[in-house]
């Protein structure tokens, strides 16, 4: 099998199923042998550069721990301290920054979510521009379109609890009301990777919360190729019925980007929160979970408790949210070992 050394990871959709399986297998090995795996020093004295245009708990901490546990170091970079060129200010170009960083680092991670960009897709374009010029791998640490590390950690959690073969198991990816006005990235990555792995994925949301049509088209194609199913519903009964996994998360409406431009981020967020508050039923509760096939509850974090999910479900015996958070560490170690170390 071809080596993954040097590969970028912008979305799991661009890696083959075999490559994703190889990554997951190594992540499970790292989980089983956290400090004594034969690859534990594979990034000995290497540095992974991390650009955060937006805040983070899990991603920053898990990448820092991952680099440390592989014998290397992760450097936290705040782009505003770096004199980078933007559309409105002079500064260093991506070409130069990426080339220079490639002389220092074994890999570059970038997080750029909706409030750091002017239009949907600009974050994805930025990652691809870095990937074009960098001679080391560029890894998405969550951007406006995708969150590949999260998608892999979700699958790892589902397999820990549901077994390795999840083909034809039902994943309900359901919109939840909330005050955090969430990105599309984790949700889009989840429906992409799970349709590729042959699950039956039901995407449920109130009318008006459509995701990227290119992504939902890929999900249809993925399901046709994997033998799974992909459907979109706007009805909670239909969504929860028979689900094996429930992943409840808020996401912003497609109008959000335009509103940010027109009235600014704060006013656009206020509008989204007011709109979301209308959908009282769209919270993952014990009542809704009772319609499922004793489903596991999933979330990528941070959880908006009392909005996306009740405490009772989030803290209940079928919740796997902390396992999924832990898995970020194991999958990122696997990604780094495979793409950044000559293993
Ligand atoms: N799930 C996730 O990426 O969490 P953070 O935003 O805390 O990094």
Domain parsing of the chain, residue ranges: 12-146+326-340, 150-325
Ligand 1 contact, 58 CB (< 6 A): yes
Tokens 């999924």, located at residue: 324
For a substitution probing ligand 1, which of 328, 331, 332 has the most ligand atoms within 8 Å of its CB? 328
Closest alpha carbon to 277 in 178, 180, 189: 178
Predicted TM-score (pTM) of this structure? 0.97
Does the structural domain 12-146+326-340 have CATH classification 3.40.50.1370?
A: yes
Rounded to the nearest angstrom, the distance between the alpha carbon of 56 and the centre of ligand 1 is 5
Closest-lying ligand 1 atom to the alpha carbon of residue 62: 8
Rounded to the nearest angstrom, the distance between the alpha carbon of 61 and the centre of ligand 1 is 9
Ligand 1 contact, 300 CB (< 6 A): yes
Closest-lying ligand 1 atom to the alpha carbon of residue 149: 3
pLDDT at 179: 86
Rounded to the nearest angstrom, the distance between the alpha carbon of 186 and the centre of ligand 1 is 9
Provide the greatest CA pair distance for the chain. Answer: 57
* Count of beta carbons in the 10 Å neighbourhood of residue 319: 18
Ligand 1 contact, 143 CB (< 6 A): no
164 cis-preceded (ω within 30 degrees of 0)? no
Rounded to the nearest angstrom, the distance between the alpha carbon of 300 and the centre of ligand 1 is 7
Q: From residue 85, give the alpha-carbon distance in Å to each of 105, 201, 238, 241, 265.
A: 21, 41, 49, 50, 22
Ligand 1 contact, 140 CB (< 6 A): no
Q: From residue 236, give the alpha-carbon distance in Å to each of 85, 246, 249, 313.
A: 46, 12, 14, 16
Q: Which two tokens stand for residue 335?
A: 């990604």
Rounded to the nearest angstrom, the distance between the alpha carbon of 329 and the centre of ligand 1 is 12
CB 310 within 8 A of CB 46: no
Helix H or strand E encompassing 157: helix 148-162
Rounded to the nearest angstrom, the distance between the alpha carbon of 301 and the centre of ligand 1 is 6
Closest-lying ligand 1 atom to the alpha carbon of residue 55: 6
Q: What SS3 state is found at 272?
A: helix
Strands (DSSP E) found in the chain = 47-52, 73-77, 107-112, 138-143, 170-175, 200-204, 229-233, 245-249, 296-298
Bridge-based pairing of strands 73-77 and 138-143 is unpaired
Q: Whose CA is nearest to atom 6 of ligand 1?
A: 56
Ligand 1 contact, 75 CB (< 6 A): no
Q: Whose CA is nearest to atom 7 of ligand 1?
A: 57
Output DSSP code: residue 305: B
Q: Which fold has domain 150-325?
A: Rossmann fold (3.40.50)
Closest-lying ligand 1 atom to the alpha carbon of residue 186: 1
Per-residue pLDDT of the chain (343 residues; tens, 9 = 90+): 789 999 999 999 999 999 999 999 999 999 999 999 999 999 999 999 999 999 999 999 999 999 999 999 999 999 888 888 877 788 999 999 999 999 999 999 999 998 899 899 999 999 999 999 999 999 999 999 999 999 999 999 999 999 999 999 999 999 999 888 999 999 999 999 999 999 999 999 999 999 999 999 999 999 999 999 999 999 999 999 999 999 999 999 999 999 998 999 999 999 999 999 999 999 999 999 999 999 999 999 999 999 999 999 999 999 999 999 999 999 999 999 999 998 6
pLDDT at 85: 86
Ligand 1 contact, 150 CB (< 6 A): yes
Ligand 1 contact, 302 CB (< 6 A): yes
For a substitution probing ligand 1, which of 142, 247, 331 has the most ligand atoms within 8 Å of its CB? 142
Q: Are 12-146+326-340 and 150-325 the same fold in CATH? A: yes
């Amino acid at each position: 099998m071809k080596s993954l050394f040097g590969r970028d990871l912008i979305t799991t959709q661009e890696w083959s199923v075999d490559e994703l399986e190889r990554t997951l297998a190594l992540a499970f090995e790292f989980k089983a042998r956290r400090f004594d795996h034969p690859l534990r020093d594979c990034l000995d004295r290497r540095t992974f550069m991390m650009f955060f245009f937006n805040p983070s708990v899990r991603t920053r901490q898990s990448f820092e721990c991952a680099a440390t546990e592989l014998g290397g170091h992760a450097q936290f970079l705040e782009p505003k301290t770096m004199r980078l060129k933007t559309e409105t200010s002079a500064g260093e170009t991506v070409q130069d920054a990426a080339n220079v960083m490639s002389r220092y680092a074994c890999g570059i991670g970038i997080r750029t979510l909706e409030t750091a960009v002017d239009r949907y897709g600009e974050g994805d374009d930025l990652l691809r521009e870095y990937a074009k010029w960098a001679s080391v791998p560029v890894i998405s640490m969550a951007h406006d379109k995708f969150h590949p590390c999260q998608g892999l950690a979700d699958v790892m959690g589902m397999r820990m609890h549901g077994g390795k073969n999840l083909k034809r198991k039902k994943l309900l990816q359901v919109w939840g009301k909330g005050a955090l006005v969430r990105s599309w990235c984790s949700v889009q990555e989840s429906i992409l990777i799970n349709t590729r792995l042959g699950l039956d994925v039901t995407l449920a949301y109130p009318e008006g919360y459509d995701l990227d049509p290119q992504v939902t088209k890929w999900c249809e194609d993925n399901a046709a190729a994997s033998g799974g199913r992909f459907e979109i519903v706007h009805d909670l009964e239909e969504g929860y019925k028979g689900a094996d996994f429930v992943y409840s998360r808020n996401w912003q409406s497609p109008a959000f980007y335009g509103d940010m431009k027109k009235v600014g981020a704060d006013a656009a967020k206020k509008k989204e929160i007011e709109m979301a508050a209308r959908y009282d039923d769209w919270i993952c509760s014990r009542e809704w979970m009772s319609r499922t096939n004793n489903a596991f509850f999933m979330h990528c974090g941070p959880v908006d408790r009392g909005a996306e999910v009740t405490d009772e479900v989030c803290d209940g015996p079928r919740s796997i949210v902390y396992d999924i958070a832990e898995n970020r560490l194991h999958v990122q170690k696997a990604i780094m070992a495979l793409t950044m170390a000559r293993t």
